[in-house]
Amino acid sequence: KLQKLAGQTLFITGASRGIGKAIALKAAKDGANVVIAAKTAQAHPKLPGTIYTAAEEIEALGGKALPCIVDVRDEKQIGEAVEQAVRKFGGIDILVNNASAINLTGTLETPMKKVDLMLGVNLRGTYLTSKLCIPHLLKSKNPHILNLSPPLNLNPIWFKNHTAYTMAKYGMSMCVLGMAEEFRGSIAVNALWPKTAIQTAAMEMLGGAEVGKQCRNVDIMSDAAYAILGKPRSYTGNFIIDEEILKTEGIKDFDIYAVAPGNALLPDFFLDEAEALVQNMGDQVVIPVAKGDSRSAATSGPIAETFNIIKGVLNPDIVKSTGGVYKFNLSGEHAGVWFIDMKNGGGSAGSGEPPVKADVVMTMDSADFTKMFAGKLKPTMAFMSGKLMIKGDMTLAIKMEKMMSMMKSKL
């Protein structure tokens, strides 16, 4: 088999784990040199892998590795890593801008510290790393920049729930749009994005352990990246979806990439296919609450029945392990405001405003709420398809899934 990347030097940001590491390992099999430019030098309590463990894996597969401690927001650190790479390997042929920060919250719920992190890592970090690598890329025989960022889809549905994250991610995509044209004929500059959710440690932190069954594994992204990086520099300015490029490479069976073949796959953000799921939501952001009939809704109907079951499930152990107050703004046939307090005493639940300020506010249609608590609609799927708006602490939103699994047998 032709080893397309043999002897080439790849500079990959955020390569200590996830998709970045998968691309590094794919290149290592060809005998490539890989610069692991990432922050994790000591093991993270929740996330596996460091730049040093990634380097060992690369070398075990036949590649050469240079682990560099790099925060992509730090110009000095990137500059030093680039210089070390050039000193050790003689140049840089490929840059993969993979490092990314994510926080899926609305404008009022996103602290400026998080906004600065996302813009600093995703947008500025990508721009800065590109700027410092380009002088070396221009000397390469077949230079590539590959940004892991989405097509620029300007449908408001992809902005309304997480404007800051979308701006930061689209900043990476705008680097592709601009630099592909600026360096046309000299450097190939492209973007790669997955069609479905990909199972990574970050994804599990966002969606819980169960979400993995609705994901593909990282191999689909590393195979797609490999296909792109083997193309000539004239292949530039493209916003590529993993599955689409692999179809052109002759791959027909995509079940090989599924974490749990046969399960429905979560579509990823920013794609038209995913939009089809959310069209029924319209542009309704402020959910009207029916005040007139809230008393009758509070005593009868599917929502009241669900809350009666929730009250039966609540106990001090659940309260202790959850530690959150949830408010539900429900629209549709059974509109109203409901709460679950899994923070105080033995817990409580019912209609109306919570007794104390809510940590998480969930806004959705009452029919979807019933489906969610019956185990027919996963909160992660509801959120990613736009059926559920979450304001507040995302980790607490994820903890809801534990409670729902306890309720399945009773509903």
Strands 360-365 and 389-392: antiparallel
- State how far Cα 1 lies from the chain centre: 33
Write the DSSP assignment of 254-303 as a string of letters: -GGGBSSTTSPPPBPTT-HHHHHHHGGGTT--SPP---TTHHHHHHSSHH
Q: Coil, strand or helix: which one is 17?
A: coil
Q: Which of 52, 127, 165, 326 is catalytic?
A: 165
Quick check: 69 and 119 in contact, CB under 8 A? no
| Number of residues that make up the chain | 411
Quick check: 184 and 244 in contact, CB under 8 A? no
Please enumerate in sequence order all residues whose Cβ is within 8 A of that of 117, keeping only pairs 6 or more positions apart, or say none.
101, 103
Residue 372 in tokens = 């969610």
CA–CA separation, 166 and 122 (whole Å): 10
235 is catalytic: no
| Active-site annotation, residues | 165
